[in-house]
Amino acid sequence: MAPCELPLAVTMGDPAGIGPEIIAKMYLRWPRNRQWVVVGDPMVMEHAVTALGADVRIRPLSSIDEAMLEDGVLDVLCSSRLPALPPVGQVSADSGHAAYKAIVTAIRLAREGRVHGIVTAPIHKEALAAAGLPYPGHTEILADHGGASKVAMMLANDDIRTVLVTIHCSLAEAIRRGDFAAQMAAIRLADAGGRALGITRPRIAVAGLNPHAGEGGLFGDEEIRIIRPAVEAARAEGIDASGPWPGDTVFMQARKGRFDIVVAQYHDQGLIPVKYMGLDHGVNVTLGLPFVRTSPDHGTAFDIAGRGIADPSSLKTAFDYAVRLRPVIPNTRADAHETL
């Protein structure tokens, strides 16, 4: 894996969750991969390092240009200064604000070309809401501040990859949002994401919305009216798309090697198969941004926060993906399919 010319920005996540702990553990366990700077609160990271009994000094930075990336020193770009540590494992507005400030600071650095990309530790949706922030998750913050017209979430592990047509909304709202334009955006982004991972011609399977992909209209007609026309339009652009496939078997076929990426219609349809395979090596990649963004495939784990038992493996996988990737932006020209 080629090293990045610029460091990665690793956001601390919710201070009350396991984000600071797994960041500290990643620093300690993989010393050869230290080309990154934490964006967050120095006090929070100091507490995380101290709790692990690590001989590591926290160096607060006011600018990314001050980063030295020295052994035994963990650089933390100050995005916030909490008056006190928030209660571990509890939702709080202070934690929501601090997590959000770290994300928007990292986005600014990425848009300015001062970091190679962003790796985000987990945040808590209720903490964002408590802070009065109108975002249900990372993807929506990135879409709002990241300078992209369309973004999509790709979840990946060693067995399967999936891209979502709709993300954080109710199932009823997902059905309303999954129109032709949303289908096309997801298929194009899946194609671009596969190419960014080194797949020359990604095989994209589009899942149906209804049982048995609608069974010819017996169980719903979204497949006939919306999804199949989108697949045909994508194929006309030169994308190797097929479907709609029944959602209950398409992931099994992808795992066996028939497809490279599955486009899922809604959050749980796509995430349950990926997370069922385990969270240790899952990664979330945001497609469509002008910079790289990855994240571990798990949440804040408030139930084990502060106990020193959180596993940093998924964060390390997210880091490895971020080093490997370049920005994943689709090209909608039918004759333009270079690796992005």
Residues 81 and 169 in one domain: no
Q: Beta-strand (E) ranges in the chain?
A: 8-11, 36-40, 57-61, 73-78, 117-120, 152-156, 161-164, 203-207, 240-245, 261-264, 283-287, 292-296
Residues 167 and 306 in one domain: no
Residues 124 and 9 in one domain: yes
Residues 169 and 269 in one domain: yes
When mean pLDDT is compared across 31-35, 151-155, 213-217, the lowest value belongs to 31-35
Q: Checking DSSP bridges between strand 203-207 and strand 240-245, what pairing results, if any?
A: parallel
Q: Read off the pLDDT of residues 286-301 as tens digits, 9 standing for 90 and up.
A: 888 899 999 998 899 9
Residues 132 and 194 in one domain: no
- The answer, yes or no, to whether residue 220 has pLDDT greater than 80, is yes
- Final residue belonging to a domain, choices 222, 243, 277: 277
The pLDDT of residue 279 is 62
Residues 177 and 143 in one domain: no
Q: Checking DSSP bridges between strand 36-40 and strand 8-11, what pairing results, if any?
A: parallel
Residues 2 and 144 in one domain: yes
Question: Domain total for the chain?
Answer: 2
Q: What average pLDDT does this structure show over 62-74?
A: 91
- The answer, yes or no, to whether residue 259 has pLDDT greater than 50, is yes
The pLDDT of residue 338 is 33
Query: Tell me, what CATH number does 205's domain have?
Result: 3.40.718.10
Residues 111 and 179 in one domain: no
Residues 179 and 302 in one domain: no
The pLDDT of residue 5 is 76
Residues 125 and 251 in one domain: no
Cα separation, 318 vs 137, whole angstroms: 17
Residues 137 and 163 in one domain: no
Residues 60 and 30 in one domain: yes
Q: Read off the pLDDT of residues 208-219 as tens digits, 9 standing for 90 and up.
A: 999 998 888 889
Mean pLDDT of the chain: 90
When mean pLDDT is compared across 19-23, 29-33, 152-156, 159-163, the lowest value belongs to 29-33
- Structural domain containing residue 191: 158-277
